Structure 1
Amino acid sequence: MTTPTSSTVLVPRIRGALAHSDRIVLPQSVLEQLLSEAGRESLPSPLTFRVFNPATNAYTHCGVREFSAPESTVLISPQIASTLGVSEKQLQASSTQDGSTPPVLLVSKCDLPKGTFVSLCPLDTNYLTMDDNWKALLESALQASYTTLTEGQTFSIVNPATREAITLLVNNLQPEKAVCIVETDLTVDITAMSEDHAWKSVAHRDAKRKVESGKVATISQDAPVRGTFSDLSQVFLFDLKSWDRSRPVIVELEVLDAGDSSERDIDGRAADVFVSIDEHPSKDYFLWSTQTDEKNVISIAPSNSFLATAEKITLAVRSCVVPLSFSLMVSQEEGIVEQKSAPAPQSESRQCPNCKQLFPPRTFQLHTAFCERNNLLCPHLGCGRIFRRQDGIPASHWHCDLDSFSCDSVSTKEKHILAHHTLATCVCGESFPSQQHLAHHRATICPQKLHICRFCHLRLPQESRDSQSDLLAGYTGHEFRCGTRTTDCPRCNRIVKLRDLDSHMQLHELQRVSAPLPRICANALCVRVIDDDPAAANSNSLGLCSSCFGPLYSPMHDPTGARLKGRIERRYFIQLTTGCKRSYCTNPACVTGRTNSNLPKLAPAEVAAMVKELTEGGKLEFCVDDGMTRRRRLVNWIGDDNEFARPWICRAVGEVRVGGEDDDPTSSEAKARSWLVENGVRITEVR
């Protein structure tokens, strides 16, 4: 059932945050009308509406973002405009003052059921370019931007990795043809639009997987791997999944075709390796690379902060010329990689004025004559490269005017200029003086860098941090905002913010470790905790629980304790002469327990001596019921592990209510051990 809330509506087009959303902006009067109709009842959450275009007989459903639009105006997204058949020309007319007639829509409140199932059909193959977590991205987009789904509608989500919009068609919905998707468990099924579309999707995916360089191989330490580039778009990916975190990681790349540089445009730096820890590295996304190292070697110190939480190291090898072969090796050394130093010059050695090399006196004259005639030194200060005089210095030999870089190929020169001296702009809008700076920015602090949120577990942009406290806490901008959602503490059931849950649980852990040792009943056969028995905590000087002290209680005034001592002697005498008559009793201070344990029966004189010994010795051994006997056996069984002190085991057994006739011993033990792990203090944790 619908209730009209607005009729004549201007439709200016919304861009930006609402470009891919079904949430509209309504006038303040609509909210006032809804509140008036609701009376004392609260408005449903979320509010859902049906939007109808009389000119095209098209309709859709939507949610509301806010009530701030001008009167008689509703702001809609391009997506809703397209669904309703509102053309670009009409949108332009609605936003100008040239007298054109704006489109008129009917907006009415509509209560929709919670959705349980949706079948979606991708209208293109863009979704295949997304990673394996694309369903999580779809879930995130629906949660952030959509309130309703209508059968037959199309909607778009943006892939953060490629910034491409992915369009999907709503094929089928349950339980009705229009549903609300807020605060509901929605089963999502992705289907092909047709058999031909399905085959195209499979072909697109297979073609992507066929690219040899797209496969991620596992690389081991001290095991060189080789590859050959046949296309400039190729990239070889390798994962290092285990390494000694106390030693540096050394990555060495060797170009195997560098010897052909005289005939081909290749030198030793025609290929580069890019290294990252969380995503496949590329030319504009990496933490370390060989682009800044003349020897194609990367050394990552064990103290590097990026490696502290890294689960793996990903390496990508790229080339600027083809065909080209390379060899890649990862190794670890005991200490810092030492550079091989040149041999110390001998005191008699002389330097050649042409090639600047040192030679012994006996060959100096011969070398100098030959060198002047055949060799040519590069005039660039600090270069030291020597060429054949008859060939001259090749045009491919180049020195950068902005730094100390030099190379022997045009392709490497172009690569260096592009990587180090070309302005680059990030997708977040920030500009950088070089691709090197851009790559480090994208791999570290870029708001558009994808990461897996520790709270919603979705792969989303990390966003900008709002304060330094986010940085100190280790949260990204998205995690700080996502962490404002609340949950119940599993220990105390208090409502806690997700981002505060770790510190809250640490407080519980501190309270657990610092908890005092529980006091147990002084009766050797009882395992009750006195701290849990308010009636017995301070009611007697013997340290007994209320159950054990009950038979000894007397309201008579006894300042010296003589009468209490007499009652204790009388109880021992009854136990050792008459007994408790319980078949499970094993109390050595009871005639029944001694009989059950095959102990010899005591003579009257021995009974009197034992009563005196027990009374004066301060040890209390009173018979207990069957439930307490089973609890004591369980305490002794768990105590054999010597992991927790006996008082903590007694409390655990008491907390899980062990001791009933129908209790399963195995289940009771598991419950008690579980309580101990969560609440008990181990012997090794006692300070």
Structure 2
Amino acid sequence: MSHVQLAVGEVVDATNWKVDLPESILESLSSESELEYPLIFALTSQTTKTHVGVRQFSAPESTITITTPIAQALGLSIGDIVKLKHTSLPKGSAVKLKTETALDWKPLLERWLPTNCTALTVGDTLMVSYLGQLHKAVVEELEPENAVCIIDTDLDLEIVGGNQQFDTLTGFEYDMPIALSEVPLTKETPDYLFVEATNGVLYVGPELATSRESFTYRITGTRELTASDLKKLGPSFSVCGYGMATLTLAAPAVESQEGSKLCPVCSKWVPEQSFILHTSFCQRNSIKCECGQVFSRQIPSDHWHCPVCSANGVGFEEAHLKEHEPSTCSCGFEDTFLNVAYHRASDCPERIILCRFCHLSVAQEIASAADKVLGITGHESHCGNRTADCHICGRPVRLRNMEAHMQQHDVQRRSRGTPVTCKNQNCVAIVKDESNALGLCSKCFGPLFSLDNDPDGSRLRARMERKYVLQLSTGCGKSWCTNQYCRTGTGIQRSFKDVLPIVKELLLMNAFYFCVDQIMAKKAMFVYEDGVYDRAWRSMAITQCSNETEAEEWLQTHAPKLGEAV
């Protein structure tokens, strides 16, 4: 297809790099050769060239509909002429972007690029929408060429510029940096948080909060955030603000202390030996407000009490009263500012979460009653409809039901009956049927079997006695033998006189110690080297699997541990 000149008919206010073309372009391509997907077109203005994908072939004849980023990149406006040519590009392998925005770009672009771009060209400016804001990223370098196709390929992403090592504890700074003390460098939400912001305003919210409106708490004065309050923030949190403030990850004050008395003025626990001196000083120099706060000599003029709730503080009263002002979430939810902040941090369908199935930062969407029972969001309900084969039973299971499915396997594992093993302590064979009274497997009982009539078992006992005497006196002669009741295994030479008492003791036992072959001896070493699983389960594992690694994996998914069976 040769160059085609088209006039810009419309500039759409969108962020994607795709255009609308006339239907005649598709007919021309179809008549020349078989179409190769994805369709990529080179757009050339008087000074600049870029590459775009096609959204649909519905534009008026001889015109092209472009988006705002394309118009800005090529310097075009409505009525300008642009050259169009169908082309093919190599698959991209690496992209380097330059940005001034501190974002976790990788999961964001994994979701945004495939739906908004077909190709990239060095110099393109991407306008990525995230949390209601547009963020710019300029394509600086591409591999293997300066223009590549990004469909059905893996791209190595490198970000240049922006604070990529953003610390979620210091949060987003506004007017002045906030002074944080006694706060460990951790992103995890604690069980308790004591906040003192007497000389400023402090904002506490989820880790993904990007504006003052998206923070859950606006704090002035002193406030204790308990576990139930912090639960609304998720597994990690951000703090920001202006002025000076202190955060303390300390336990709340105890109600009483041994050897101390409670001061009636300042409500602090004071050692008994200094109680009289302390209370005398407090009564002369302190004044207690009706809200419970104690001040030195007089109550400050800017001390306030909220008429709506029980909050109080010194200064920044307007900042607190804003919590009670009407507010509207971007999803349409209306309530007070504080309740809307709670809503954004919990139930808002536009709240950004990290999906447990696709591992991308996405809007959580509206969850149904069934989803809430399962503890998943609306997005995870749709995303979890994909199936994966269970590694235990091999059946296809929906991702959202995989946890319950694995719990079912775990119940089955813990409730399985213990298998019956051969009573020969050197053998690990599983006895599937009780074909002999001794409880031995067929291989161990074979040398003792006889067709002679033996109603009282005396002949069987004599054969067992003879076998033990030979083991202890002459040995089995097998170099791998480790049997403790065999001369070959122990290397101990005994006389006939010393052997007989040992044999009589062995015949009284409810277990046997006969020599086995080399393969069985090696399996027995695996069975007795661990104290986590019962011997019977380790015996079954090593007999059903081809090697010890597979046997260990089999035990984890099929066998109950010691003390775990139900």
Deviations 1:505-531 (A, max 9, x none): 32332222222212222322201234x
Q: Indicate yes or no: 2:538 matched with 1:649.
A: yes
Distance in 1, Cα, partners of 2:185 & 2:155: 36
Which amino acid in the other structure matches residue 297 of structure 1?
T
Alignment of 1:319-330 (within 5 A): none
Q: Indicate yes or no: 2:71 matched with 1:82.
A: yes
CA positional deviation for 1:166: 0.9
CA positional deviation for 1:648: 1.9
Instruction: Please tell me whether the aligned partners of residues 275 and 281 of structure 1 are also in contact (alpha carbons under 8 angstroms).
Output: no
Relative distance call for 1:84 and 1:21 in structure 2 (3 A) is: closer
2:282 is matched with which residue? none
CA positional deviation for 1:653: 3.6
Which amino acid in the other structure matches residue 48 of structure 1?
P
Distance in 1, Cα, partners of 2:230 & 2:313: 34
Instruction: Please tell me whether the aligned partners of residues 207 and 238 of structure 2 are also in contact (alpha carbons under 8 angstroms).
Output: yes
Instruction: Please tell me whether the aligned partners of residues 115 and 179 of structure 1 are also in contact (alpha carbons under 8 angstroms).
Output: yes
Alignment of 1:442-461 (within 5 A): 442-458=344-360, 460-461=361-362
1:600 is matched with which residue? 494
Distance in 2, Cα, partners of 1:436 & 1:576: 87
- Structure whose CA Rg is larger: 1
Percentage of matched positions with identical amino acids: 25
Distance in 2, Cα, partners of 1:567 & 1:408: 94
Instruction: Please tell me whether the aligned partners of residues 276 and 314 of structure 1 are also in contact (alpha carbons under 8 angstroms).
Output: yes
Alignment of 1:381-400 (within 5 A): none
Alignment of 1:459-608 (within 5 A): 460-530=361-431, 537=433, 543-549=439-445, 570=463, 573=466, 576-577=469-470, 579-587=475-483, 592-593=488-489, 596-598=490-492, 600-602=494-496, 606=500
Distance in 2, Cα, partners of 1:327 & 1:613: 75
Q: Indicate yes or no: 2:9 matched with 1:19.
A: no
Q: Indicate yes or no: 2:324 matched with 1:420.
A: yes
CA positional deviation for 1:49: 1.0
- Counterpart pick for 2:525 among 628, 633, 647: 633
Distance in 1, Cα, partners of 2:154 & 2:4: 34
2:150 is matched with which residue? 181
Distance in 2, Cα, partners of 1:464 & 1:626: 62
Deviations 1:14-58 (A, max 9, x none): 857x63244879979969x989x88xxxx98xx311325588798
Which amino acid in the other structure matches residue 602 of structure 1?
F
Q: Indicate yes or no: 2:95 matched with 1:118.
A: yes
- Secondary structure of the residue aligned to 2:207 is coil
Deviations 1:419-450 (A, max 9, x none): 433x5444x25364543344333333334433
CA positional deviation for 1:70: 8.1
Instruction: Please tell me whether the aligned partners of residues 253 and 329 of structure 1 are also in contact (alpha carbons under 8 angstroms).
Output: no
Relative distance call for 1:605 and 1:521 in structure 2 (3 A) is: closer
CA positional deviation for 1:473: 2.8
- Counterpart pick for 1:141 among 109, 112, 119: 112
Which amino acid in the other structure matches residue 582 of structure 1?
K
Relative distance call for 1:407 and 1:465 in structure 2 (3 A) is: closer
1:259 is matched with which residue? none
- Counterpart pick for 1:318 among 242, 245, 250: 242
How many residues get paired?
A: 524
Distance in 1, Cα, partners of 2:553 & 2:18: 48
Distance in 1, Cα, partners of 2:153 & 2:469: 68
- Secondary structure of the residue aligned to 2:528 is helix
Instruction: Please tell me whether the aligned partners of residues 356 and 380 of structure 2 are also in contact (alpha carbons under 8 angstroms).
Output: yes
2:41 is matched with which residue? 51
- Secondary structure of the residue aligned to 1:251 is strand
Over the aligned positions, Cα root-mean-square deviation in angstroms equals 5.6
Instruction: Please tell me whether the aligned partners of residues 216 and 338 of structure 2 are also in contact (alpha carbons under 8 angstroms).
Output: no
- Secondary structure of the residue aligned to 1:464 is coil
1:440 is matched with which residue? 342
1:369 is matched with which residue? none
Q: Taking structure 2 as the reference length, what is the TM-score of the superposition?
A: 0.69
Which amino acid in the other structure matches residue 195 of structure 2?
V
Which amino acid in the other structure matches residue 16 of structure 2?
H
Relative distance call for 1:503 and 1:115 in structure 2 (3 A) is: farther
Relative distance call for 1:285 and 1:247 in structure 2 (3 A) is: closer
- Secondary structure of the residue aligned to 1:139 is helix
CA positional deviation for 1:621: 3.7
Q: Indicate yes or no: 2:225 matched with 1:300.
A: yes
Alignment of 1:613-624 (within 5 A): 614=507, 619-624=511-516
Instruction: Please tell me whether the aligned partners of residues 284 and 436 of structure 1 are also in contact (alpha carbons under 8 angstroms).
Output: no
- Counterpart pick for 2:102 among 83, 108, 130: 130
Instruction: Please tell me whether the aligned partners of residues 486 and 498 of structure 1 are also in contact (alpha carbons under 8 angstroms).
Output: yes
Relative distance call for 1:23 and 1:590 in structure 2 (3 A) is: farther
Q: Taking structure 1 as the reference length, what is the TM-score of the superposition?
A: 0.59
- Secondary structure of the residue aligned to 1:298 is strand
Relative distance call for 1:598 and 1:273 in structure 2 (3 A) is: same
- Secondary structure of the residue aligned to 1:89 is coil
2:142 is matched with which residue? 172
Distance in 2, Cα, partners of 1:254 & 1:682: 56
Deviations 1:41-84 (A, max 9, x none): xx98xx3113255887987655566x785897998651685399
Distance in 2, Cα, partners of 1:155 & 1:215: 28
- Runs (5+) with no aligned partner, structure 1: 92-101, 192-200, 219-228, 256-270, 320-324, 344-381, 384-393, 531-535, 659-667
- Secondary structure of the residue aligned to 2:198 is strand
